[in-house]
Amino acid sequence: MQKYKIFDLFVYCEYNYKSNSMKKLLILFSMALVLCGCQNTAPSSSLTYEGEQIDALKGLISSFTAGDFETYRSYFTDEARIVHNAWFLDEEAGISIDAMLEQHIFNRENIFEEISVNEGIYEIITQENGNQYGHVWIEFTVRGYESEEDVKIPVSLSFGMKGNQVDFEWGFYDTSNFPKPKSE
């Protein structure tokens, strides 16, 4: 019996010694595998509510609201395209930023005597491929030249960004409550 106890003790010690070494190697290998597996090398998208592009979009909206169209224009690239109240793929619906600027100036001189805007919600999405898009949800409060009534106009805008400038604007809003143009 004594013979087996010594043998058992030898096997036990030998087994546990190798087992501890193997356990250590297995744990080390598992940790290395987990660390390598947790590293996401694939590109990912992101969303932000602050930064230079958000500041640019806020500047664009505030300069529009103030009627400072020179500053407003500076937030767009030279080739910027604008689509309002139409599907963005409709080629006939898109106009240049300069054509839209003319429309904004006309509206300001003939329809909107006063314009203000709420704080709104501003975000920038960066897609996996690096493309960046801004989204703005705001509510303009406008008053016409021949009206004492304030009209609230909720607006949803999407922007294709090139750095801190807008290369594409896609907007939706209801024009049915716009004030009537001033009479000549």
Q: Looking at the domain assignment, is residue 163 inside a domain?
A: yes
What's the token pair of residue 139?
A: 């509510």
Q: Looking at the domain assignment, is residue 31 inside a domain?
A: yes
Residue 128 and residue 88 share a domain: yes
Which of 17-21, 43-47, 147-151 is predicted most confidently?
Answer: 147-151
- Check residue 141 and give its pLDDT: 96
Residue 162 and residue 75 share a domain: yes
CATH number at residue 161: 3.10.450.50
Total domains in the chain come to 2
Residue 74 and residue 135 share a domain: yes
Residue 51 and residue 24 share a domain: no
Residue 78 and residue 28 share a domain: no
Q: Is the pLDDT of residue 76 over 70?
A: yes
Residue 12 and residue 84 share a domain: no
Helical H segments across 39-122, by residue range:
52-66, 69-74, 97-110
Question: pTM for this one?
Answer: 0.75
Residue 147: give the domain boundaries: 46-173
Least confident of 30-39, 163-172, 174-183: 30-39
Least confident of 37-41, 49-53, 138-142: 37-41
Residue 3 and residue 72 share a domain: no
- Check residue 182 and give its pLDDT: 84
Residue 144 and residue 165 share a domain: yes
| Residue owning tokens 């395209």 | 81
Q: Looking at the domain assignment, is residue 85 inside a domain?
A: yes
Mean pLDDT of 23-46: 66
Residue 75 and residue 29 share a domain: no
Residue 139 and residue 63 share a domain: yes
Least confident of 34-48, 113-127, 138-152, 170-184: 34-48
Residue 137 and residue 54 share a domain: yes
Give the whole-angstrom CA distance, residue 156 versus residue 81. 16
- The residue type found at 117 is V
